[in-house]
Structure 1
Amino acid sequence: MGTPISLDIADDLPAGQLDTLADETFAWLREVDARFSTYRPDSEVCRFDRGELLLSEASTDLRRVLARCADLWDATDGFFDAYATGGLDPSGYVKGWAAQVASDRLLAAGSANHCLNAGGDVRLRGRSSSGQPWRVGVRHPWDPSAVCLVLAGTDLAVATSGVYERGHHVRDPRRGTPARGLRSVTVVGPDLGLADAYATAALAMGVAGIGWLDRLPGHRHAVVTDAAHCLHSTDLPLAD
């Protein structure tokens, strides 16, 4: 998916079981990359976008993702748009969704304590190997060696969308231009796919995304503006 992915399993399980869980997790994520990558011309997403694959011929996963992207377009008043760049690119949902599915599978397989980090989209469950809640640093938008906030929790989905690595890659779908106003958006909620999409949508909205996030039920957020102001929900789960 063009990003580093790390997995920390903190359960007291036999080494062989830990290896199996890790292997199955990364096999799933490689499958997602092969199917949804916009950089691979033979991926299912690229073939569908070129019209070489009918919707009726698409995999269950692709049909499910396309349906969810359509729902998200409606829920965000069009600011989450898988076609914002002209071609089909559901990456703003797929990365978080894939990591959420992987975490759900780990939980079902007996891992109640793990942290899966897919390029800044993080799914936390249970506790770390120290017995304490997991801690997640939100990268400082101007200093890659620093964090601007540290979150903590035992069951959190944390997604961040920003412009500090890939530039202004998120586009305002209404104007057709790169989104401006927000340097980074972090959304915390129960589902990583939704948190990922909401962070992307808010970034596309610019400063108007702050008010939209304030009204978003069941989610908390932190934003850093282009003017270097850091704003966040009053009940954001900050580490002590």
Structure 2
Amino acid sequence: MHRVEQVMGFPVSLRVDDDHIATAIGDAVFAWLREVDARFSPFRADSEVCRLDRGELSPGDISADLREVLDLCEEYRIATGGAFDVRLPGRGLDPCAVVKGWSVQRAADLLKAAGARRFVLNAGGDVVASGGPWRVGVRHPEQADKVCTVAELTDGAIATSARYERGDHILDGRTGRPATGLLSLTVVASSLTLADTTATAAFAMGTEGVEWAAARAGCEVFAVDAERRVLRTEGFPVAGAQVRAA
């Protein structure tokens, strides 16, 4: 199975190498991601997130899924000393930094529950992989046609936060200003929920975020700072030569 659809504002590709997996599970994966977009997008006036932000829903009325997402947002806000914050002054509630990784990991869990063992789910460059090893290229932060490293995944996830696609869109909640200390930061972890949220939170912290992310349980880090220095934890899984490309 190999499918690509545009969901949540970015391309999502699914590759499943297991012959016994029915196409219906692919339908379920993309249906779930479309449901997440409808419910949690801060850009849809009728979404649960926007209704909560406008006061049309009380905190006690929200779904268990949104409560889980907001609890994660608060966990990372506290852990970063406020650098990661989905409720910045003058802006609406925007939990996208958690929703993306959380929802794509849920989709990967659907695949595993259906019996898929060898697959790659790529959501705008953030990847959940199973049954590898797989090679995942990490884009060079200043040269779009090059990679700065290639990671090897067997069963896990990789996520990158950077400035190259959307400019200075990640803000340091402590100052309200764009986080500019890093050009890119990549995290490998057991789940995309952990990898993606940690990458975004660490990027918001600037250069101090590299050490913070590296200290998170189960996280390996590859970063390029504003001075073009490469910072990498010892356990970051740099790929060998004989693995399949994702």
What SS is found at the alignment partner of 1:23? helix
Q: Give the alignment's TM-score, normalised by structure 2.
A: 0.90
Alignment equivalent of 2:129, drawn from 124, 131, 134: 124
Read off the aligned partner of 1:53 and give its amino acid letter: L
Q: What are the residue-to-residue correspondences of 1:1-240 with 2, within 5 Å? A: 1-13=8-20, 17=22, 19-84=23-88, 86-127=91-132, 133-240=133-240
Structure 2 distance, partners of 1:182, 1:167, is 12
Name stretches of at least 5 consecutive residues in structure 2 with no aligned partner. Answer: 1-7, 241-246
What SS is found at the alignment partner of 1:136? strand
What SS is found at the alignment partner of 2:14? strand
Structure 2 distance, partners of 1:153, 1:30, is 26
The RMSD of aligned alpha carbons is 1.3
Q: Is the 8 A contact 2:84 2:172 kept in 1?
A: no
Deviates more, 1:114-123 or 1:210-219: 210-219
User: Size of the alignment, in residue pairs?
Assistant: 232
Name stretches of at least 5 consecutive residues in structure 1 with no aligned partner. Answer: 128-132
Structure 2 distance, partners of 1:151, 1:50, is 42
Q: Give the alignment's TM-score, normalised by structure 1.
A: 0.93
Deviation of residue 224 (structure 1)? 1.0
Deviation of residue 174 (structure 1)? 0.8
What SS is found at the alignment partner of 1:65? helix
Structure 1 distance, partners of 2:197, 2:82, is 12
Deviates more, 1:75-84 or 1:214-223: 75-84
Structure 1 distance, partners of 2:214, 2:57, is 40
What SS is found at the alignment partner of 2:10? coil
Question: Residue 130 of structure 1 corresponds to which residue in structure 2?
Answer: none
Structure 1 distance, partners of 2:80, 2:130, is 28
Q: Is the 8 A contact 2:16 2:118 kept in 1?
A: yes
Percent of pairs with identical residues: 51
Structure 2 distance, partners of 1:119, 1:24, is 19
Q: Is the 8 A contact 1:141 1:184 kept in 2?
A: yes
Moved over 3 A (4+): none
